[in-house]
Chains A and B, each alone.
Chain A
Amino acid sequence: MANVDFDVPAKGGFSFDLCRRNEMLMKKGLKPSSFLKTGTTIVGLVYKDGVILGADTRATEGPIVADKNCEKIHYMAPNIYCCGAGTAADTEAVTDNISSQLKLHRYHTGRESRVVTALTLLKSHLFSYQGHVSAALVLGGVDVTGPHLHTIYPHGSTDTLPFATMGSGSLAAMAVFESRYVEGMNRDDGVALVRDAIRSGIFNDLGSGSNVDICVITKGHKEYLRNYEMPNPRTFTSEKGYSFSKKTEILTAKVTPLRELVEVIEAGDAMEE
């Protein structure tokens, strides 16, 4: 048999090499780093012309809000978007990975990506990591076969649903959906219902908060409405500005607007990688 030049494909499944190293480090006293979770409300529903996805924008690290306005609706393909709940790094990485696989597939086939393709790629990936990749996703899009909405759980199981919610605020959002969803809604009613479900999550769940993001996908067209609604504005900043206590005698006052000190070169050299 001639010497083969191609790479033998990897055996697949989770590689446990780093587990021994982690155990060794823990024995030496290293505390495991806390990870950024998206403790979240994400929803999706199918309406007359397509699919509407919604998400809140709070990312938590334990009890602290790490990011007040993060983006949880990820791009997969021009006609497919995916909301992610769970560990932020996992949702980001897995959606990016499958998004690039979809692009290569589009070049190879010359056709628009289908939602079931993204679904199968995601579920195979998550299953092979046996639930260690903590990503719970709501995948929605419109392709040649019609509108589709799926949920994907961290262990790799999927559901096909007319309406779906995931994340810590999923019960609050599901309560809104179960009581008000009907099939074949028009765009305005659908967006209003998604907005109300996310608001329910924002105001009734501690892991969700800040703003409402919405993405409307129809045949051949998509609308990414970042910060569609901002029901938690910052209202406590004082307009008076800084005032000194009464006993302080102001000798001179000079106000230097900082913007003028920094020169922004528009067409500067990009950083060398």
Chain B
Amino acid sequence: MSESVQVTNNLTNPEASSQRTLYPYVTGTSVVAIKYKDGILMAADMGGSYGSTLRYKSVERMKSVGKHSVLGASGEISDFQEILRYLDELILHDNMWDDGNSLGPKEVHNYLTRLMYNRRNKFNPLWNSLVLGGVKNGQKYLGSVSMIGVHFEDNHVATGFGNHLARPILRDEWKEDLSFEEGVKLLEKCMRVLLYRDRSAVNKLQIAKLTEEGMTISQPYSLKTFWGYGAFQNPTVGAEGSW
């Protein structure tokens, strides 16, 4: 008796059984990316947090897209995996034309913007902040899309906490035509500050390099940290018993 009541409910009120995304579950933290002399450099750590627990420590949050682009994502990991499937289909259909053309970073960025914005309009967003970088025919491109569809293009982008901690450093120290070593050093500087000051950051990161030749992603490695300040060793100097 109760089952038939439920069936009628589903038919008359189709929204009753579907659910909208209300909050993310397994999340990745910031992604930072810069343009450099030969293309794009992108850095992201490998942590997947489940609320305040550090649940997964080998999550690759940067993936290549087609021949010319790399996508980095922060936010809900399952939504990132879903976006990769959409992009797979997009690239597949593009290859099926077999016309010698391939989707460049600008086109992929535009596709992602439409995807995110349309989901947001249905109140069912893909809970990610994406960074899309690429090089096609010598043109470097670096763009960002948020979960509500805000998109823009710049010489350096970051998601999440990276906006507050890494962007100020990049605004001061980024310059045109950085060498690979300078670019990596700059990214490591930003990732180190994020490691110190973002609670969901993890000391295991990868750096992706994207040039005209293609994408290479480094092996995971960790950054050196320094904790030897005098005030940390002895905070109550001159005031025994204080706290």
Q: Which residues of A contact B (CB under 8 A)?
A: 46, 114, 116, 119-120, 143-146, 148-149, 158-162, 171-172, 174-176, 178-179, 183, 196, 200, 203-204
Contacts and interface: CB of A to CB of B under 8 A. Distances in A.
A172 B168 contact: yes
Contacts of A196: 172
B236 interface: yes
A116 B242 contact: yes
Given A176-B169, A178-B197, A179-B189, 12 more contacts: A46-B230, A114-B238, A116-B242, A144-B238, A145-B238, A160-B231, A161-B231, A171-B168, A174-B197, A176-B168, A179-B192, A204-B167
Contacts of A144: 238
A146 B169 contact: no
12 contacts: A46-B231, A116-B239, A145-B239, A146-B238, A159-B235, A160-B231, A162-B231, A171-B164, A171-B197, A175-B164, A176-B169, A204-B167
Interface string B150-177: 0000000000010011111101100000
Interface of B: 161, 164-169, 171-172, 189-190, 192-193, 196-197, 229-232, 235-239, 242-243
Contacts of B238: 114, 116, 143-146, 148
A175 B169 contact: yes
A30 to B, nearest CB: 37
Contacts of B196: 178
Contacts of A143: 238
Contacts of B243: 158
Given A120-B242, A171-B165, A176-B168, A183 B193 contact: no
A25 to B, nearest CB: 38
B165 A175 contact: yes
A78 B161 CA distance: 39
B164 A172 contact: yes
A174 B229 CA distance: 16
A146 B237 contact: yes
Ranked nearest first, the 8 interchain pairs of A and B with the lowest CB-CB distance are A145-B238, A160-B235, A116-B239, A171-B164, A172-B168, A162-B229, A204-B168, A178-B193
Contacts of A145: 237-239
Main DSSP-derived SS at the B contact region: helix
A160 B168 contact: no
Nearest to A143: B238
A116 B197 CA distance: 26
A119 B239 CA distance: 11
B92 to A, nearest CB: 41
Contacts of B239: 114, 116, 145
Nearest to B197: A174
Nearest to B231: A162
Q: Which of B232, B235, B239 has the largest number of chain A CB atoms within 10 A? A: B239
A161 B239 CA distance: 15
A244 B231 CA distance: 65
Nearest to B161: A171
A148 B189 CA distance: 28
Contact of B165 (A46, A148, A174, A183): A174
B22 to A, nearest CB: 27
A183 B192 contact: no
A105 to B, nearest CB: 15
A225 B199 CA distance: 36
Contacts of A203: 168, 171
A149 B168 contact: no
A204 B232 contact: no
Contacts of B230: 46, 162, 183
A77 to B, nearest CB: 15
A150 to B, nearest CB: 9
Contacts of B164: 171-172, 175
B241 to A, nearest CB: 10
B130 to A, nearest CB: 22
Nearest to A173: B168
Given A160-B235, A161-B231, A183-B229, A178 B166 contact: no
A229 to B, nearest CB: 15
Contacts of A178: 192-193, 196-197
A46 B230 CA distance: 10
Q: Which of A149, A174, A179 has the largest number of chain B CB atoms within 10 A? A: A179
A172 B165 CA distance: 6
